[in-house]
Structure 1
Amino acid sequence: MSNNNNNNIENEKQQHQVHQPVKPPFYANLIAGAIAGIIGASTVFPLDMVKTRLQNQKALPNGTTPYNGAIDCFRKIIRNEGGVRALYRGLSANLVGITPEKALKLAVNDLLRTTLQGDAPSITIGQEVMSGAGAGFCQVVATNPMEIVKIRMQISGEGGKRASLGEVVKELGIRGLYKGTGATLLRDVPFSMVYFSMYGRIKAHLTDENGHIGIGNILLSGIIAGSCAASISTPMDVIKTRVQVKPGPGDPHYNGILDCINKTMKNEGPKAFCKGLVPRIMIISPLFGITLVVYEVQKNLFASTH
């Protein structure tokens, strides 16, 4: 009788081990994150161009603004700056940076989630928030250089002369590539705290009792979480954009985050901190939805082959 009980217990253990999902190693998640980031960023880049232009625009001497909303911005860029190709100015810098940025963001979040959860049956909301914060902090080493170069290239078309990737990097230098790092951290850490904790909770809610979740539900989880995180972090994204843009003649100069906040509030009022909100949501929602779909599919493929 005792031997039968022992055999049953051993069989249950073996069945439990068989059904445990195989978690990819850190390097595999880095590769998956890089590929996912490239696909996602390339898909939504024109919206990012419009978002940057709207956030940086200042009132003209006659009291009007260069762009009357996102659609008008799209039209003027295409009409005045060389057609549809102009919407992709800065994509090269973005793809160079998005590879390590998304790789770090997604892989570090997964690593911290696994580490913090340990042997517990489920992860707590506090642990999810901490994992997201760690991911947001680590990614900045790649995010800041990518974003400042991308922004400089996106804005350069407004002045007629369009800067190349090499010209922007040469002008900035190593130190200049990390200008605005504080603002980037203040945007990305809260963003990742909100995004990854919401994504994890929504995804868990949409996963069936057998642990299966469809691609559509992964996409939906990423879109909802991305919309909320983008809304919360937009004010600091506006500040980051303004701090990193090279000021033109007559443009205000900002000596850091607080100076930018004070001057923006004084000159444009609180509404300025919401500039580019709609395009940013339209970027982040599909970007992270697509990215997470690609990332999860690659993780599942790895698990199925091991």
Structure 2
Amino acid sequence: MDLRETSAGVFGALCCISCGQPFDVVKARLQSSNAHGKSPGPLAVALQTVRGEGLRALFKGFTPALASSVTENIVVWSVNSFLRNQLEASIGAGDEDFVISNQQQALLGALTGCVSAVAICPAEVLKVRQQTKTVRGATSLQIATEVVRESGVRGLFRGVGPLLARDVPFYFLFFGAMETFWDKIAPDGSENNLLWSAVGGGFGGSLAWAIVFPFDVAKTRQQVYGGRDTMLATMRGVVRKDGIQGLYRGWTPAVLRAFPANGALVFGVHLWRNIYDTIMGEDI
């Protein structure tokens, strides 16, 4: 395991969750809503949550969300770094001018998503259950016990299918778009500048969330309500009740969250790499 990338993933996750958690709570509540017809907007849901449960309710699920994000980003940055090194060693061996293309970055991201989806599923189940409960005081341990009592240990992996369907294209788009932004839009060397690295991360995250969002709706529905429906059956059920717009319920807070949260994530990763290299006496 690459300690530099692992610790960068942890620090980046702390930055990401600190910026994005209230948006994530609103997203989860919109996604799990059974209201037919026109659903309340994100702002209305946020205000309703604060009025009924207090401001702290916008940070419900923070502990499992942090656990999920830390796990995800340890896996994402460590696995992606490993895959990059393997690609450079196999294809670019002996070629000092070899540079991984943006398309290759995207494909490595997709492979990374395969691993991360399975790794974060239990924490995602606990996070979503906690976020959507309107009663106070439901701890992560209580919810985990409830899930295992209802469905056994496999209940902690409910929604893994939609998670894979979400994370594989998500990381394909995230890494591909971020690298393309740094390469084609931002000034030269921007990926090494903390501000521009954050903008690239926000751009990649927003684009990816905008496209993969329907799979996240299916994941949330399965993790909240259970049942044995497949991902496609879950999505068909949503469309049958609420139309195609039902698959985009919560889209606005998700995409709004993506820019600051993913920007903070990439900012944190790059900042920690600089700190680590300074401590270890390596060239930055």
Aligned twin of 1:226: 205
**Contact conserved, 1:135 with 1:192, CA < 8 A, in 2?**
yes
* Aligned-partner Cα distance in 1 for 2:262–2:122: 20
* Aligned-partner Cα distance in 2 for 1:254–1:175: 12
Aligned twin of 2:32: 56
Aligned twin of 1:144: 121
Counterparts of residues 1-306 of structure 1 (less than 5 Å) = 26-59=2-35, 65=39, 68-81=40-53, 83-118=54-89, 119=92, 120=95, 121-157=98-134, 160=135, 162-173=137-148, 174-205=153-184, 206=186, 208=188, 213-246=192-225, 255-304=229-278, 305-306=281-282
Give the deviation of 1:64 after TM superposition: 6.2
Give the deviation of 1:90 after TM superposition: 0.7
* Aligned-partner Cα distance in 2 for 1:212–1:161: 43
* Aligned-partner Cα distance in 1 for 2:6–2:35: 43
TM-score, normalised to structure 1, is 0.82
* Aligned-partner Cα distance in 2 for 1:74–1:254: 31
Q: Mind listing any 5+ residue stretches in structure 2 that lack a counterpart?
A: none
Give the deviation of 1:254 after TM superposition: 5.8
Count of aligned pairs between the two proteins? 269
Give the deviation of 1:161 after TM superposition: 6.0
Give identity over the alignment, percent. Answer: 28
Shift in alpha-carbon separation, 1:117–1:197, aligned structure 2, 3 A: farther
**Contact conserved, 2:26 with 2:42, CA < 8 A, in 1?**
yes
**Contact conserved, 2:11 with 2:272, CA < 8 A, in 1?**
no
> CA deviation digits over 1:196-219, x for unaligned, max 9?
11112212343536x874222111
Q: Mind listing any 5+ residue stretches in structure 1 that lack a counterpart?
A: 1-24, 248-252
* Aligned-partner Cα distance in 2 for 1:281–1:212: 22
> CA deviation digits over 1:219-253, x for unaligned, max 9?
11111111110111101111111111136xxxxx5
* Aligned-partner Cα distance in 1 for 2:59–2:196: 30
SS at match of 1:177: helix
* Aligned-partner Cα distance in 2 for 1:301–1:89: 31
SS at match of 2:127: helix
* Aligned-partner Cα distance in 2 for 1:90–1:54: 15
User: What CA RMSD, in Å, does the superposition of the two structures yield over aligned residues?
Assistant: 2.0
**Contact conserved, 2:26 with 2:45, CA < 8 A, in 1?**
yes
Residue identity in the other structure for 2:122: P
SS at match of 1:58: coil
Which has the higher Rg, Structure 1 or Structure 2? 1
Which structure has more RCO (C-alpha within 8 Å, separation ≥ 6)? 2
Give the deviation of 1:125 after TM superposition: 3.1
* Aligned-partner Cα distance in 2 for 1:293–1:59: 38
TM-score, normalised to structure 2, is 0.88
Give the deviation of 1:106 after TM superposition: 1.7
